[in-house]
Structure 1
Amino acid sequence: MRFLVTAIDGFGHINAALGFAEGLKAAGHEITFAHREKHKNLAVKRGLSFIPFDETLVDANTEENLFQWIDAAGDRFRQEPLKLCHDMINDSSEEAAAKAYFFIALNGAMDAIVSDKNNKFDAIVVDYPTPFPFLYKHSIPWFPLASMGPLILYPSGPPPFSGYSVHSDKSNWDEFRKAYQLAYAKITEAHNANIEAAGVKGVKFNPSVFVDSPQTVGFYHYPANLDYTECGSRRPNWYRVDSWIRQPDLDTEFVIPEKLRDKPGKLIYFSLGSLGSADLVVMKKIIAILAKSPHKFIVSKGPRGDALELADNMWGENYVNQIKVIQGVDLVITHGGNNTFMETLYYGKPMIVIPYFYDQYDNAQRVVDKKIGFRVNPYDIEEDYLLNCIENIFNDNEMIDRVKAISHNMRNSNSLNEAIKMIEKQTELNKNKAQ
């Protein structure tokens, strides 16, 4: 079968989509990845076909706009999630609604690809945080991926993006839900106006879910050991896949840099992801703290890494071959984005999560609730606490064993193959109906 695969323009979503695409390709299907031209190498490296977006339809300055946004709004993200919601409610700017423009542009780029009669696909696999009209315009079946943490799929659980524990006081949950809906009222209104203007009826954007309802079936990415099954039933037609981790972007093995080779201590990987690492205030603060650790660090400095100065017990580059690095370290300090979160668990590494926003807060709290690491809030980074968290992990054999058990189950799961069989079945049914 011929599958078109794509994702929102964010590395976590792109990497997750590529991992799922690799599974489809391994099952014998023909895969085309559609995205911005700069990501072509990621598809070609994996033996996938590639179709670039029409760059005249997609803002070419996304990264620079992102940096300006981080600099302007960084203080907001460095605070407790509920307070962030209240600040957004009180902000009278139209910045949030303006962000909906990006989704219009992306929808136009994908519609052009699918409408091209030279492109023929049996199905589409998408990792999108909102309904996209082009999927409803065409008769091709589509399957959504939820590469974010799965709390969005459990209506009876803590409010997504709050960072609240499943054991927390439920009287606070409704307060967060109300504040969150008000905070995202403008962008919700803008998204739904775009969907309606495209002629799609009966479909609405829900900022608390951040995925479209599956046409038939959809798939989320989380290990069985950590799933929120204690929160009751999940939204219909969503199926869990324990692991669809992508292959490394580079084939070369990771070798400990000479600068660190003879230094004492454990080897630790530190990354706040492509977005969190652009917040130079947080990055510099954490680097200064880790400089006092007796351990050594591999640092993914991020897109603004040239502005960062690393300490003597550190080596880093703006972008590192993350999967290979994770395999070779003893501990990961991460923002908790679901992609890095899953890779860290797959390779059996405990973690310290410093969440920046959205599902990162939920993953950070899940690490605490399941006793596989620690959470350090970006609005409350204390030197002694962070350094003690590192030592506590290395001294906790039971915690390390719990992570290894999760890794073992992820590696031995057949859930990705089962997901692909579901897609094959639904796609075949659609082809039969069309005949």
Structure 2
Amino acid sequence: MRFMVTAIDAFGHINAALGFAEGLKAAGHEITFAHREKHRNLAVKRGFSFIPFDETLVAVNTNEFLFQWIDAFADKFRQEPLKQCHDMIKDGSEEVAAPATLFKALNNAMDAIVSDKNNKFDAIIVDIPAPFPFLYKHSIPWFPLASLNPLVLYPSGPPPFSGYSVSSDQSNWDEFREAYQLAYAKLTEANNANLEAAGLKDVKFNPAIFVDNPPTFGFYHYPAELDYTECGSRRPNWYRVDAWVRQPDLDTEFVIPQKLQDKPGKLIYFSLGSLGSADLVVMKKIIAILAKSPHKFIVSKGPRGDALELADNMWGENYVNQIKVIQGVDLVITHGGNNTFMETLYYGKPMIVIPYFYDQYDNAQRVVDKKIGFRVNPYDIDEDYLLNCIENIFNDKEMIDRVKVISQNMRNSNSLNEAIKMIEKQIEQNNNNVL
């Protein structure tokens, strides 16, 4: 079968889509990855065909666009999530609706590819956290991926993006839900206007869910041990896959840099992701703290890494071959983006999560609730606490063992193959109905 695979223009979603596509290719299917020209190498390396977006339709420079967005809200992202929402409501800032422009441009680029009569696809796999009109316009079956914390799929659980524990005081939950909806009201209005302009009056964007309601079914990416089953039933038509972690982007093995080879202590990887690392205030503060640790660090400095100066116990680059690095370290300090979160678990590493926004807060709290690491809030980074968290992990054999069990179960799971069989059966059923 011929699959078009695509994602919104964000590295975590792109990497997750590539991982799922690798499973489809291993099952014997043909993959065409559709995205910006700069990502062609990611497809070619994996034996996929590639179709680039029409750059005249996505002329916006996504990196610059997102950096400006980060800078506009950086002071808010360094606050407790509920306060973030209240401050955004108070400001009434128009920038909150800016991503709708990006969504519209990406939709037009994807629509152009699917509309081209030279491109024939049996199905579309999409990792996009919003309803995109092109999916509803065409008769091709499509299956969404939800590569984010699955709390969005559990209506009876804590509000998504709040960072609240499942055992927290529920009297606060409704307040957060209401504040979040009001904070993102302008984004909701802009996205729904785009949907209505496309003739989709019955399709609505909900900023507290993000993922589409699948016409048949979709898949989310989370290990069984961490799923929110204690929160009751999840939204219909969503199925869990334990792991679809992609292969490394580079085949070269990671070798500990010469600078660190003779340094004492454990080896730790530190990354706040492509967006969180753009906040140089937070990056510099954490680097200054980690400089006082007796351990050594591999640092993913991020797109603005040239402005960062690393300490003597650190080595880093703006981009590192993350999967290979994670395999070789003892601990990961991460923003908790779902892609890095899953890679860290898959390779059996405990973690300290310093969440920056959205579902990163939920992943951070899940780490605490399931006792597989620690949470450090970016609005309250205490030097002693962060350094103690590192030592506490290395001294906690039970915690390390818990992570190893999750890793083994993810690796042994057959859930990705089962998901692919579901897709195959659905496509065959659709074809039979047409006949």
**TM superposition score normalised by structure 2:** 0.99
Q: Which residue of 1 aligns with 2:427?
A: 427
Q: Using the alignment, how far apart are the partners of 2:81 and 2:96 within structure 1?
A: 17
Q: Which residue of 2 aligns with 1:325?
A: 325
Q: Which residue of 2 aligns with 1:207?
A: 207
Q: Using the alignment, how far apart are the partners of 1:249 and 1:145 within structure 2?
A: 21
After superposition, residues 45-124 of structure 1 pair within 5 angstroms as 45-124=45-124
CA displacement at 1:101 relative to structure 2: 1.1
Q: Which residue of 1 aligns with 2:359?
A: 359
CA displacement at 1:434 relative to structure 2: 2.0
Deviations, residues 109-158 of structure 1 (Å, cap 9, x unaligned): 01100000000000000001110111011000000000010000000000
8 A Cα contact 2:69 2:95, kept in partner? no
Deviations, residues 234-270 of structure 1 (Å, cap 9, x unaligned): 0000000000000000000000000000110000000
CA displacement at 1:296 relative to structure 2: 0.1
Q: Which runs of 4+ in 1 moved over 3 A?
A: none
8 A Cα contact 1:221 1:241, kept in partner? yes
Deviations, residues 53-108 of structure 1 (Å, cap 9, x unaligned): 01111134221222222223211100000000001111223222232111111111
Q: Using the alignment, how far apart are the partners of 2:355 and 2:59 within structure 1?
A: 28
CA displacement at 1:202 relative to structure 2: 1.5
Q: Which residue of 2 aligns with 1:191?
A: 191
- Partner letter of residue 166 of structure 1? V
8 A Cα contact 2:151 2:160, kept in partner? yes
Q: Using the alignment, how far apart are the partners of 1:152 and 1:377 within structure 2?
A: 21
8 A Cα contact 1:149 1:362, kept in partner? yes
Q: Which residue of 2 aligns with 1:243?
A: 243
1:132 aligns with 2:132: yes
CA displacement at 1:28 relative to structure 2: 0.1
8 A Cα contact 1:59 1:102, kept in partner? no
Q: Which residue of 2 aligns with 1:305?
A: 305
Deviations, residues 280-302 of structure 1 (Å, cap 9, x unaligned): 00000000000000000000000
- Partner letter of residue 76 of structure 2? R
Q: Which residue of 1 aligns with 2:271?
A: 271
8 A Cα contact 1:223 1:243, kept in partner? yes
8 A Cα contact 2:4 2:121, kept in partner? yes
Q: Which runs of 5+ in 2 are unaligned?
A: none
8 A Cα contact 2:220 2:241, kept in partner? yes
8 A Cα contact 1:146 1:211, kept in partner? yes
Deviations, residues 304-341 of structure 1 (Å, cap 9, x unaligned): 00100000000000000000000000000000000000
CA displacement at 1:432 relative to structure 2: 1.5
- Partner letter of residue 274 of structure 2? S
- Partner letter of residue 263 of structure 2? K
Q: Using the alignment, how far apart are the partners of 2:295 and 2:6 within structure 1?
A: 39
8 A Cα contact 1:304 1:318, kept in partner? yes
Q: Using the alignment, how far apart are the partners of 1:76 and 1:153 within structure 2?
A: 26
- Partner letter of residue 377 of structure 2? N
Q: Using the alignment, how far apart are the partners of 2:214 and 2:66 within structure 1?
A: 30
Q: Using the alignment, how far apart are the partners of 1:94 and 1:60 within structure 2?
A: 18
**TM superposition score normalised by structure 1:** 0.99
- Partner letter of residue 92 of structure 2? S
Q: Using the alignment, how far apart are the partners of 1:375 and 1:98 within structure 2?
A: 30
Q: Using the alignment, how far apart are the partners of 1:152 and 1:47 within structure 2?
A: 33
1:12 aligns with 2:12: yes
Give the share of equivalent positions with the same residue, in percent.
88
Q: Which runs of 5+ in 1 are unaligned?
A: none
Q: Which residue of 1 aligns with 2:32?
A: 32
CA displacement at 1:430 relative to structure 2: 1.2
SS at match of 2:223: coil
8 A Cα contact 1:34 1:51, kept in partner? yes
SS at match of 1:298: strand
